[in-house]
Structure 1
Amino acid sequence: MAHIIVVGNEKGGAGKSTVSMHVATALVRQGHKVGTMDLDLRQRSFARFVENRRAYIDRTGVDLPIPDFLELPQVSEADLKPGENIHDQRLSVAIAELEKDKDFILIDCPGSHTRLSQIAHTLADTLITPLNDSFIDFDLLARHDGATGKILGPSVYSEMVWQARQMRAQAGLKPIDWVVLRNRLGAQQMHNKRKMGEALQNLSRRIGFRVAPGFSERVIFRELFPNGLTLLDLRETGVTSLNISNVAARQELRDLMTALRLPSTEMAA
């Protein structure tokens, strides 16, 4: 069976689509068969990333590896069993199609709570939650007292992940490996970074996730999106000399892929 990677949180602007495209492309470059889906049916940022990549390949003739992308199929209500949810069926049909010949399936979820996102989380072997390195986004995982730093309780998103874990346990499936990425790390504000790091490590022990380094705030990510490119494509697209920022960004991607501990993966230098 394919290893299912879900990229999700319930806040926009945390870099889910950027992470999704880079992880999917890195896996394809390693020789894996990768299928992808975008469950954000309104914004479709990841879907547009893939479309931009195809357009770039067609326009330039540059042979770049690209993950397979599957639009969520339509399902007739007449085909549903009594009590069956149409969104559950649409996702089930898509997963069944991709699992025929894929090593990995990557699902990019919307930055809001939807039925599709909720069900996708129950399917996750690996759950990646990008988080802007700020206490504003810390609320995504838990409610905390700003004065004392005390954790007051889990967030609605953490509760959803807990429910997904319970459903998997009842079905006899292996536990979700939940990885929280510290995205948009800045070079400044060292005091805030330290406090954020301590808070995440303390919370990780309470609700069961691993903390991993994500991507720093870099202009290059905004420049790559219109052409559907990733950090791994720079030399093939004519960038013969990488600047220090680009080299550092590629190292961040290597560190991320190592931290995910996905089966049968090894990030090339």
Structure 2
Amino acid sequence: MLVQASPGQSGAAHVVVLGNEKGGSGKSTTALHIAIALLKAGQRVATIDLDCRQQSFTRYIGNRRAWARRTGLDLELPAHRCVNSGDTMQVADNEISEFQQFMEAVSAVERTFDFIVIDTPGSDSYLMRLAHSMADTLVTPINDSFLDFDVLGTVDPATFAVTGESHYAAMVREARRKRRQLDGASTDWIVVRNRLSMPGSRNRQLLVGSLKELSFRMGFRAIDGFAERVVYREFFPRGLTALDDLDEATLGTRPSMGHVTAREEVASLLRQLKLPLDERGRRRAANRAEWFAQVDKPLETHDILGA
């Protein structure tokens, strides 16, 4: 069934997968920022949460929907689906149920949306592997430490030279190989460093060097993501992102310099992802922006006569 409905085929949605076997790396935060950025660029975006138990991505989007309803704000929302955990005592039956939900979710949106953004659980599972094999763009957020680097590879404790690859990195390599066999397409794998340490710190220099060395072996791109900022944690209860219009009505307080810096970080991240924006979507976004710019202005005489 997957072969018949591969998102890599012409006319299908571009699949962005957020993956990492370690929790707490910022997958859901990064996933929502990517989805909202795409929506603001006029793209048609669907989202799928495969983290059946934690469901942070689903709650984040639910918070955004509730805050928009409560305040009357025009907050962009993706078409969202969440795969629920199987509730039987049989593991095989649960996997079949979760697989069917996932395939139904993908089939419902892959031909009518420009992008599908998928958040995966922080553990190895059949669904997690399946999503990785479908990815056109794979984003792996890690915290800026060797504790999180361990999800990708191992290093010599004296020289910090890379000595091997991790279980997750090996899984990604196999998923990319299967994708090439399936439709000849390649997966753009991007490792995003979050909770960045101070510029010039020894940890940062060593980690960047190890990531660079491993990237040559594994074929991924390493880029900077989000620093450790309180504003990212504050966004979650209201479902906000750094890309929203962060005024007092939206935030409930006056924006700070941290909000401005967070927006710059997110914009930089999105540029480096190099996602293929559809030109029709760009025009939709431009037309929408123009409409909103004019909607509160009084009509001019020539506008009335021209109508």
TM-score by structure 1 length?
0.90
Q: Does 1:3 align with 2:32?
A: no
User: Do 2:35 and 2:117's aligned partners in 1 also have CA atoms closer than 8 Å?
Assistant: yes
CA contact (8 A) 1:73 1:94 kept: no
For 2:111, the equivalent position in structure 1 comes to 100
Write out per-residue CA displacement over residues 139-184 of structure 1, whole angstroms, 9 at most, x where no aligned residue: 0101222222232221000011011011111112311100000100
- Is 1:29 paired with 2:44? no
Mapped partners of 1:109, 1:174: distance in 2 = 21
- Preserved contact between residue 132 and residue 185 of structure 1 (Cα < 8 Å): yes
Tell me the SS of whatever aligns to 1:131. Answer: strand
Superposed, 1:164-175 pairs within 5 Å as 164-175=175-186
- What are the ranges of 5 or more consecutive residues in structure 2 without an aligned counterpart? 1-11, 87-94, 287-307
CA distance in 2, matches of 1:220, 1:73: 30
More off after superposition, 226-235 vs 237-246: 237-246
Q: Is the 8 A contact 2:161 2:210 kept in 1?
A: no
Match of 1:90 among 96, 101, 109: 101
Give the Cα separation in 2 of the matches to 1:212 and 1:168.
Answer: 23
How many percent identity over aligned positions? 46
Q: For 2:199 and 2:137, locate their aligned partners in 1 and report how far apart those are by CA, in whole Å.
A: 31
Matched, 1:243 2:256: yes
Aligned residue for 1:257?
270
SS of residue in 2 equivalent to 1:147: coil
Counterpart residue number, 1:56: 67
Q: Partner letter of residue 138 of structure 2?
A: L
1:131 corresponding residue in structure 2 = 142
Code of the residue aligned with 1:215 in structure 2: it is F
Whole-Å Cα distance in 2 between the matches of residues 48 and 239 of structure 1? 20
CA distance in 1, matches of 2:136, 2:215: 18
Say whether 1:183 aligns with 2:191.
no
Between the aligned partners of 1:110 and 1:88, the Cα distance in structure 2 is: 14
Deviation at 1:87, TM superposition (A): 3.9
CA distance in 1, matches of 2:184, 2:78: 26
Q: Which residue of 2 aligns with 1:67?
A: 78
Please report the RMSD computed on the Cα atoms of aligned residues, expressed in angstroms.
Answer: 2.3
CA contact (8 A) 2:197 2:203 kept: no
Give distance in 1, aligned partners of 2:108 and 2:54: 24
Segments of 5+ residues of structure 1 without an aligned counterpart are 76-83
Conservation of the 8 A alpha-carbon contact between 2:49 and 2:119 = yes
**Structure 1 pair 253/85, CA: closer, same or farther in 2 (3 Å)?**
same
**What residue number does 1:80 align with?**
none
For residues 34 and 140 of structure 1, the distance between their equivalents in structure 2, rounded to whole angstroms, comes to 29
Matched, 1:222 2:217: no
Provide the residue aligned with 2:120 in structure 1.
109
CA 1:111–1:192 in structure 2 vs 1: closer, same or farther (change >3 Å)? same
- Deviation of 1:198 after TM superposition, in Å, equals 0.9
Equivalences for residues 191-230 of structure 1 within 5 A: 191-230=202-241
Shift of residue 86, structure 1, vs aligned partner: 4.7
Give the superposition deviation at 1:89. Answer: 3.4
SS of the aligned residue for 2:183 comes to coil
Find 1:157's aligned residue among 168, 193, 200.
Answer: 168
1:102-150 CA distances to partner (integer Å, 9 max, x unpaired)? 1000000111111111100000000000010000111010122222223
Q: How far apart in 1 are the matches of 2:110 and 2:33?
A: 21
CA distance, structure 1, for counterparts of residue 97 and residue 186 of structure 2? 26
Mapped partners of 1:74, 1:109: distance in 2: 13
Match of 2:56 in 1: 45
Task: Map Cα deviations across residues 43-95 of structure 1 (whole Å, 9 max, x no partner).
Answer: 000000001011101111111111110133799xxxxxxxx955443322211
Answer yes or no: is the 8 Å Cα contact 2:51–2:83 preserved in 1. Answer: no
Could you tell me how far apart the structure 2 residues matched to 1:154 and 1:250 are? 34
SS in 2 for 1:231: coil
The TM-score with structure 2 as length reference comes to 0.80
- Measured in 1, the distance between the counterparts of 2:238 and 2:64 equals 6
Give, as a single letter, the amino acid of the residue that structure 2 aligns with 1:257: L
Contact 1:87 1:115 in 2 (8 A): no
How many angstroms does 1:30 deviate by? 0.8
1:70 alignment partner, SS class:
strand
Choose 168-177 or 221-230, whichever is displaced more: 168-177
Taking the aligned partners of 1:224 and 1:107, their CA distance within structure 2 comes to 20
Partner of 2:27: 16
Q: Which has the larger radius of gyration?
A: 2
Tell me whether 1:121 sits opposite 2:121 in the alignment: no
